[in-house]
Structure 1
């Protein structure tokens, strides 16, 4: 069932809610990620592993937001034009790059907390940059492969692609469910290690508690934003469902996933201590940011 047959099934009030929600997220996301990228690239004193991962994450989120209006426009048409393919390619590239970077950050935290002795050899700004470059290449390569396979199977744009497509299932499984499994494992391992760490003083206990909550919050945000969409998409493709209910479910869950772009940017202020200090120094010249003596926070962020 195509989008035109389902347009009458979608109430005008729902369309207005979708438009307002998406427009608000687009404006807020561009502002927050633009500010985040500016601080990360020009206001911090040195490049750390965290800074490299977050800068790449901000770029991916910013590019996804820029491609979002074109992607939404071509969802309403049935033309498989080069511009439609380009907009969807940019959208998918940056969505799954964001997912991959969140996975990489979780692995980096896991190594730092669970294997502190090996961390010195495994964690460095150069290695973080190499990981990011590899992820960009892998995601771009897999997207190019998907484009080639989908073109042979009847089009690359969502609006014209057939409902049952094995390549879409494989791409979804590898592009989301594998990073999800890694993220869950690493997050639980980090939280377990933090709770088992001996507390030398009340300050360290408070830092450990906040770090555990931060790791769990990142996991919850990732699951809430991305899991519903990929579950609905997998069910749709696996069962070959093309009903208006499935179409509406995809619209709702996909727009829920857009919120991750804003939540990523907001996390820059609450997760990275060094980012908080840089942000304070840029907004108030009289306020001097002090270096945190808590190495636990620095390690996790």
Structure 2
């Protein structure tokens, strides 16, 4: 998108064109790299979480929903890879907008479910008696509400995109879709809401949960009480914080500036070019959450490791027994 009535020098536009070509290659290689690990790890995680874990406490329901959110984005990656290789979208505008929408749905659903995991682990640690009376259907209801609210809140991301007029432009998708020019007040309101509810608020909640767990750990150390569950909860919240900051902080720091560039609020060539150049990098970092989230399940959930280990051992034993029976039959 270019800003009206603003003269942009030739070197700026030329450098951005070269950068956009390089970004097509970056998107292609990056999505190729994360597709297979993301698909395998999340499929395995969903299978283990749904089939082998009987306990529905310890944020298991939220982890299942987090895995579904990651899989929704991962399944759209082959279409993204096709577009960035061929620079052509033959699948129609509806599927384009759906894949575009799934990217942001995954991002903000992941953020909210990371918040839910942190809150639940903190609450169950500080109020263990309430955890005994907590029902899994409560988590299911919360998850449904999260999906509805996040789904509605992510709709502006596709509503802000214009549908191309020409047949040739209609073969464009993702970053090549033109953006609508919004009213200044509306643009500011959307920026403030996205940053407040999509980043600053969740960051504050996760940070506050970390503080409460650390404070509880210090008190229990003074009283010589058992701190095993406290340390596990602290590791869980810290990893959620780490994934949150690494994957989503760069995007949301740059998002405010990027929207100001697209709405012609920032018009300086050098500044706008730097913001535009960092935008795809921040999007790639946000996509890494689909590969990092399964680490939460494996390293921080004892039941996940136990069930995965037991199932893996049983499969191995079954294969060894079948091989032994086959060899004895041949003898």
Give structure 2 stretches of 5+ with no counterpart: 3-12, 166-172, 318-331
How many angstroms apart in 2 are the aligned matches of 1:205 and 1:97? 31
Do residues 6 (structure 1) and 35 (structure 2) align? no
Deviations 1:5-49 (CA, angstroms, capped at 9, x unpaired): 72313675x765553333111111111001000111112234335
Q: Which residue of 2 aligns with 1:52?
A: 61
Q: Which residue of 2 aligns with 1:265?
A: 294
Match of 2:136 among 125, 131, 141: 125
1:86 CA displacement: 1.6
Do residues 181 (structure 1) and 204 (structure 2) align? yes
Q: Which residue of 1 aligns with 2:46?
A: 37
Q: TM-score, normalised by structure 2?
A: 0.73
How many angstroms apart in 1 are the aligned matches of 2:223 and 2:28? 52
Alignment of 1:244-255 (within 5 A): 244-255=273-284
Distance 1:184 1:70, change over 3 A: farther
1:106 CA displacement: 0.9
Distance 1:269 1:16, change over 3 A: same
How many angstroms apart in 1 are the aligned matches of 2:19 and 2:152? 38
- Is the Cα contact below 8 Å between 2:27 and 2:81 reproduced in 1? no
Distance 1:153 1:115, change over 3 A: farther
Give structure 1 stretches of 5+ with no counterpart: 289-301
1:223 CA displacement: 0.7
Q: Which residue of 2 aligns with 1:98?
A: 110
How many angstroms apart in 2 are the aligned matches of 1:52 and 1:213? 19
Q: Which one has the largest radius of gyration? A: 2
CA-based RMSD: 3.6
How many angstroms apart in 2 are the aligned matches of 1:167 and 1:70? 32
Deviations 1:199-246 (CA, angstroms, capped at 9, x unpaired): 7879x4566445434432321221111001111011222463473322
How many angstroms apart in 2 are the aligned matches of 1:49 and 1:64? 25
Match of 1:197 among 217, 220, 234: 220
Do residues 107 (structure 1) and 130 (structure 2) align? no
How many angstroms apart in 2 are the aligned matches of 1:4 and 1:278? 55
Do residues 215 (structure 1) and 237 (structure 2) align? yes
Distance 1:241 1:23, change over 3 A: farther
Q: Which residue of 2 aligns with 1:161?
A: 179
- Is the Cα contact below 8 Å between 1:195 and 1:208 reproduced in 2? no
How many angstroms apart in 2 are the aligned matches of 1:208 and 1:186? 12
- Is the Cα contact below 8 Å between 1:280 and 1:287 reproduced in 2? no
Identify the range of structure 1 (178-187 vs 75-84) with the bigger mean alpha-carbon deviation.
75-84
Q: Which residue of 1 aligns with 2:246?
A: 224
How many angstroms apart in 1 are the aligned matches of 2:286 and 2:14? 24
- Is the Cα contact below 8 Å between 2:162 and 2:179 reproduced in 1? no
Q: Which residue of 1 aligns with 2:322?
A: none
1:284 CA displacement: 0.9
Q: Which residue of 2 aligns with 1:298?
A: none
Partner of 2:314, secondary structure, is coil
Match of 2:128 among 103, 116, 130: 116
Identify the range of structure 1 (20-29 vs 62-71) with the bigger mean alpha-carbon deviation.
62-71
1:162 CA displacement: 4.6
Distance 1:244 1:34, change over 3 A: same
Do residues 26 (structure 1) and 49 (structure 2) align? no
